């Protein structure tokens, strides 16, 4: 089973989902804007991606600029901000067999399939 943290309003997310479908993956779609991951789940995703929390933040979002930009935040505080404001989570994230990839560009997820 391949899991995609998906935002249907995002072009890259839609392209990545189409790529998974084209590769005949069994897909579990997580609409993370409606059902955000918990802090524990997001920490696990970051570990699989081998990224620091700040590397998964969409820094051009107004909620980031207005509330967090320029502040010294711990990793836990950044994760908490993303959980409370899932719009801040870079997308899409694809997980399969304990590995994860960010679908930017969409083809980058092929490495874990």
Q: How far, in Å, CA of 81 to CA of 95, rounded?
A: 22
4, 7, 9, 10: the active-site residue: 10
Q: How far, in Å, CA of 17 to CA of 30, rounded?
A: 11
Active site residue 104: no
Per-residue burial over 76-102, b if 16 or more Cβ lie within 10 Å, else e, is: eebbebbbebbebbbbbbbbbeeebbb
Which run of H or E residues covers position 31?
strand 27-31
Active site residue ranges:
10
């Amino acid at each position: 089973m391949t899991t995609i943290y998906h935002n249907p309003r995002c072009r890259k997310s839609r392209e990545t989902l189409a790529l998974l479908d084209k590769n005949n993956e069994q897909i579990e779609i997580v609409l993370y804007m409606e059902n955000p991951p918990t802090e524990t789940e997001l920490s696990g995703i970051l570990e699989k991606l081998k990224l620091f929390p700040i590397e998964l933040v969409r820094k051009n979002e107004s909620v980031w600029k207005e509330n967090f930009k320029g502040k010294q935040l711990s990793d836990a505080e950044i994760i908490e901000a993303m959980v409370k404001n899932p719009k801040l989570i870079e997308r899409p994230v694809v997980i399969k067999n304990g590995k994860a990839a960010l679908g930017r560009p969409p083809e980058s997820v092929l490495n874990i399939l």
